[in-house]
Structure 1
Amino acid sequence: MRVLPYTESLPYALYRADQVRAFDRIAIEEYEIPGADLMQRAGSRIFQLLQASWPAARHITVICGTGNNGGDGFVVARLARQAGLEVLLLQLGDSARIRGDALTMAQKWEEAGGETAPFPGLPRKTDLIIDALLGTGLERDVTGAWAEAIESINRHQAPVLAVDIPSGLNSDTGQVMGIAVRADATLSFIGLKQGMFTGAGPDYCGRIHFDALELPARIYSRQILSARRIDWKKQSQLLAPRRRTAHKGDFGHLLLIGGDRGFSGAIRLAAEAAARTGTGLVSVATHPDNAPLLNIGRPELMCHAVAKDESLAPLIERADAIAIGPGLGRGEWGRSLYQQALASGLPLVVDADALNLLAQAPIKRSDWILTPHPGEAGRLLGEKTSQIQANRFEALKSLQERFGGTQVLKGAGTLITDGSSRPPALCSDGNPGMATGGSGDILTGIIAALLAQGFEPGLAAELGVALHAAAGDRAAVQGERGMLAGDLLPELRPLLNLEFGTYEA
């Protein structure tokens, strides 16, 4: 029987809370692994992470709830005390409600000489706080004493290690349920929860670790994962070396449409990103005022002046794919070009102002990729941005059902779906330095470049999102503050060639 190992590399499978609970139940009922053993393993792994990440910590505060999450906390406290650390264990909630394996661990803590104190507040000085308050079953907002306890944790200067998931964070959506613990690190058990990687999840989980608790690998075949985590390390394996006899016609001709008068920057960023992503030929249809200047410094871009009454037909005829939206505007010029692009019959990447035009007159088609940020997604669905962020997975599903094709819901933990039976993809790379004007235009150019090179839309979107995020992470090595969208451009070429021995990292 193969067992999934304890590893710092995170799995790519993501699950909902009910699926992880099902794995736990199967392990106990069908594989006859005692629940107390699983709890002991969980507490042991937390203690191992504590020692590895905070080796100088001598004073530990463990805050336990009344459920299994609290049971894990009792194990951590006992192991820490046995190792000679000073441990303060604080209990929140009625201790008479502790049942089952959690009660067993609470009794073992007391039998080992440990004391349990009610939660009146946190000590002024402690080296580390263990959050074992609430688990993955949270369905309503945290209130009352529980909310006050979480607020106290967040105010404290000590680092926080969360057991399985930060208390107050919805494990399915990444939504904060009123208030949530801001952890410095989280150790998730059995299956990674999808909400940890999107919505508010990345803000609250800190560094994410994982342990399967030695569950038999066969258990995981009993559930279809709810989402797939992607990153460039994995996605780059889908690229192949280029043939030695290749020519520019083998790598597609992309037409980018945008850049109304005074808005040339966005379409220039998108076009240069497309060229750096390996498109054979890149043409830009832009406002006549911009055309003479747009390729200064990048003469490889073929820039065409298109007035509002002129046809794009000659440019469309030579193209393999179209990207439309960056700097397009919503005036007559932009609307005319938008309508021509829709009528072209070519695969499309639709972004920025083109999405705003789509929101005004919704249509559905199968051959496009939409790349909305949460605000644009809200306009497309007639919802507030906060509603989109409250359940990004549901918003992604609604976008695909309403507009068809491939949907890319941007933001921390960008989500992608092509409407097929495959679970949605979630990109776990990227950083806050990418939250700057023009970053989305770079993504548009990258995805459109891959589409023009012949990748099917779903794969082009997943590859593009992962490449964009990895470029952002490389650029952020010099610091997140002050990053510009253009800083991603020089990172694209080395990332695209790392697998083939043509570039040394």
Structure 2
Amino acid sequence: MGASLPHSLYRADQVRNGERKIAADLGVEMYTLMESAGLAAYQSMRSRWPATSKILVLCGGGNNGGDGYVIARLAIEAGLSVTLWSVVDPSKLTGDALTAKERYLQKGGAITRDKPAQTEVEVVVDALLGTGLCRTVAGKFLEAVKWINHQACPVLAVDIPSGLDADTGAIWGEAVHASVTVTFVALKQGLFTGQARALCGECVFDGLGIGEAFESSFPPAAIRVDAEWAEALLPPRSPVVHKGNVGRVLCIGGQRGMGGAVILCGQAALRTGAGLVALLTDGSNLTAALSRQPELMTREWDSSQDAQILTESLAWADVLALGQSEWSKALFAAAMSANKPMVVDADALNLLAASPRYAENWVLTPHPGEAAKLLSVSTAKIEQDRFSAVKELQKRYGGVVVLKGAGTIVYDGLDTFVIHAGNPGMASGGMGDVLTGVIASALSQTRFPSKAATFGTFIHSFAADNASQAGERGLLASDLLPWLGKNIKQMQC
């Protein structure tokens, strides 16, 4: 998605109602906004595909379709060959959409109700369905969406790819796969999480002259976290800092033969700036841990041992990182009783699902499958509305919840953050273990769970983006470690 986007994200109803109020307050006619939206979309199309001479504009019956008529008229005025396919009866248009249609026809434009020949299309403009969609795409709209997705040419989506939910990022049965999405007035939260990450392509924003007034008048539903936003979350280090006052992290996990996860967690915590990091793990993992990362402190533990080692280790730590281990039930119980700030992932989340409890001082990092267990619903239910899911998780379990996935969402009970970083190469084993270590390290340095979770989640995804510069396929969790040792400005060089 494109740069220079606002950080504030809104629900569709906020934008729909708010833009009318702001326009009225500023004395701006709603049709003027439609003209501005059509112009912004048209200019984006010409700037990205300047050699285009033949375009197809698909229009629905609402204001999104009206934007399409404006785009088609501007294209005719510029000498382009335009085919406009209306999936609704154009004689039934009303309001601003009717005005836009009439002005298009006055310029010599024509309207067809039939699918054009594929060879006639160089760029497709999707102006079928806007942000108010709330039911499964069907009928002629479904036929049109499927037709668009079978074209080899680029697609420009007006405000949102048709079929995508503007609030949740879920798909209403079928949705357009856009190359570029030009969205207006304010950013819709559903464009940045879930299936939207695969559908929107590059996201371009235009406030249509009222965007700043809108943002200053209405509180956002969520915050888009990019490098600029994240940079302010982790405080700079004092010149006189020492290892004893930048946090001690204890990473717990790693049964025999499964030590990779806890080692990656510990390495990530070190690389992200924790002063001291120790592993509490099965003895079979100690040699591998120290050969891989000699800066790690290690302590051996198994369930047959005296509880003193466990008690001492928990007392030593400022922050706990609980990860993957089938023998973690006893460790989990002891960690809970220690009442220390902690990051909970993997098997520890499964144990939490089996014995639910509430705490304010932890960060939970479930992927959708783990979230489904925690809420006793299906994974599909989680993905259907990720914003509602993360809020329900936090309500039930407390603390800060990081719902992983495309467009990871962080919720602390008050504010919602959407991570605008990450790539498909992160779909590999060990990425979650690295994230646990990163958040635990940030928590040991800031002592603010919300800031730690938001910064840690962003820097983890941002490191993955930098590490994938040579290619996303085959990206390993350990490839992130060298990047985690850099600050955001160094990564951007």
Q: TM-score range by the shorter chain?
A: over 0.9
Q: Which one of 139, 145, 158 corresponds to residue 150 of structure 1?
A: 145
Distance 1:504 1:204 in 2: 26
Q: Contact (CA 8 Å) 2:39, 2:71: kept in 1 or not?
A: yes
One-letter amino acid of the structure 2 residue matched with residue 45 of structure 1: A
Aligned counterpart in structure 1 of residue 440 of structure 2, from 448, 457, 472: 448
CA apart distance, 1:124? 2.8
Deviation at 1:493, TM superposition (A): 1.3
In the alignment, structure 1 residue 472 sits paired with structure 2 residue 461: no
Summarize the Cα distance change of 1:504–1:462 in structure 2 as closer, same or farther, 3 Å threshold.
closer
The counterpart of 1:427, out of the listed 419, 428, 433, is 419
Deviation at 1:328, TM superposition (A): 1.3
- Does 2:385 match 1:391? yes
C-alpha displacement of 1:495: 2.6
SS in structure 2 opposite 1:494?
A: coil
Structure 2: distance between partners of 1:137 and 1:121: 27
Q: Which residue of 1 is the match for residue 486 of structure 2? A: 494
Deviation at 1:242, TM superposition (A): 2.2
**For the residues of structure 2 that align with 1:185 and 1:432, how far apart are their CA atoms?**
19
Q: CA deviation at 1:31?
A: 2.4
| Equivalences for residues 88-167 of structure 1 within 5 A | 88-121=83-116, 123-167=118-162
C-alpha contact 1:121 1:152 (8 A) present in aligned 2: no
Q: Unpaired segments of 5 or more residues in structure 2? A: none
Change beyond 3 A, Cα 1:207–1:219: closer
Cα offset for 1:345?
1.4
Question: Take 1:175 and 1:210, find their aligned partners in 2: how far apart are those partners?
Answer: 21
Match of residue 485 from structure 1: 477
For 2:312, the equivalent position in structure 1 comes to 314
Alpha-carbon deviation of 1:199? 1.2
Whether the 8 Å contact between 1:471 and 1:495 is mirrored in structure 2 is: no
Q: Where does residue 52 of structure 2 map in the other structure? A: 57
Matched letter for residue 348 of structure 2? A
Rounded Cα–Cα distance in structure 1 between residues aligned with 2:447 and 2:170: 34
Q: For residues 98 and 399 of structure 1, do their structure 2 counterparts lie closer, same or farther at Cα, with a shift above 3 Å needed?
A: same
In the alignment, the residues of structure 1 paired with residue 203 and residue 382 of structure 2 have an alpha-carbon distance, to the nearest angstrom, of: 24
CA–CA distance in 2 between the matches of 1:120 and 1:345?
64
| Equivalent in the alignment of 2:341 | 347
2:404 counterpart residue number:
410
CA displacement 1:423-476 (0-9 Å, x = unmatched):
300001111111111111110000000111233001100000110111011011
Q: Is the 8 A contact 1:279 1:452 kept in 2?
A: yes
Q: After the TM superposition, which residues 178-327 of structure 1 pair with which residues of structure 2 at under 5 Å, given as runs?
A: 178-215=173-210, 217-310=212-305, 311=307, 312-325=310-323, 327=324
| CA–CA separation in structure 1 for the residues paired with 2:474 and 2:376 | 34
Pairing 1:328–2:325 present: yes
Aligned positions of 1:4-83 closer than 5 A = 9-83=4-78
1:32 CA displacement: 2.1
**Residue 325 of structure 2 aligns to which amino acid in structure 1?**
L
SS in 2 for 1:60: strand
Q: Relative to structure 2, which stretch is displaced further, 409-418 or 89-98?
A: 89-98
Q: Aligned partners of 2:163 and 2:346: how far apart in 1?
A: 34
AA aligned to 2:315 is E
CA distance in 1 between partners of 2:46 and 2:409 (Å): 35
Q: State whether residues 8 and 215 of structure 2, in contact with CA within 8 Å, keep that contact through their aligned partners in structure 1.
A: no
* TM-score (normalizing by structure 1): 0.94
Q: 8 Å contact 1:23–1:190 — kept in the other structure?
A: no
- Aligned partners of 2:145, 2:256: CA distance in 1, in Å? 51
The amino acid that maps onto 2:347 is D
| Contact 2:22-2:213 at 8 Å conserved across structures | no
RMSD after superposition: 1.5
Distance 1:178 1:496, change over 3 A: closer
**How far apart are residue 8 of structure 1 and its match?**
5.4
What is the rounded CA distance, in whole Å, between the counterparts of 2:124 and 2:390 in structure 1? 36
Cα contact 2:227–2:488 (8 A) shared by 1: no
Structure 1 distance, partners of 2:230, 2:374, is 29
Give the letter for the 1:452 counterpart: S
The CA deviation at 1:239 is 3.2
Task: Tell me how far 1:85 sits from its aligned partner.
Answer: 1.0
1:222 deviates by 3.1
User: AA paired with 1:357?
Assistant: L
Deviates more, 1:209-218 or 1:376-385: 209-218
> What SS class does the counterpart of residue 410 from structure 2 fall into?
strand
Question: Could you tell me how far apart the structure 2 residues matched to 1:489 and 1:227 are?
Answer: 29
Query: Structure 1 stretch 486-495 or stretch 185-194: which is displaced more?
Result: 486-495
Q: Give the superposition deviation at 1:269.
A: 0.7
Amino acid at match of 1:328: S
Deviations 1:173-230 (A, max 9, x none): 1110011101011000001110010111111111101000001633333322111111
Contact kept, 8 Å, 1:292 with 1:303, in 2: the verdict is no
Q: 1:496 to 1:229 in 2, by over 3 A?
A: closer
| Equivalent residue number for residue 4 of structure 1 | none
Letter in 1 for 2:73: R
Instruction: Give the distance between the partners of 2:106 and 2:142, measured in 1 at CA.
Output: 31
Q: Residues 431 and 477 of structure 2 are in contact (CA less than 8 Å); yes or no, is this contact kept in structure 1? A: yes
Further displaced range: 352-361 or 287-296 = 287-296
Task: Measure how far apart 1:131 and its partner are.
Answer: 0.1
Query: Separation in 2 of the partners of 1:122 and 1:8?
Result: 35
| Structure 1 residues 103 and 323, CA gap change in structure 2 (3 angstroms) | same
What letter corresponds to residue 229 of structure 1 in structure 2?
R
How many Å apart are 1:309 and its aligned residue?
Answer: 3.1
> 1:3 matched to which residue of 2?
none
What amino acid is the match of 1:320?
D
Aligned-residue offset at 1:374: 0.2
Cα contact 1:396–1:407 (8 A) shared by 2:
yes
- Residue identity (%): 45
What is the TM-score with the length of structure 2 in the denominator?
Answer: 0.97
Deviation at 1:28, TM superposition (A): 3.5
Distance 1:74 1:14 in 2: 27
CA distance in structure 1 between the partners assigned to 2:7 and 2:465 by the alignment: 19
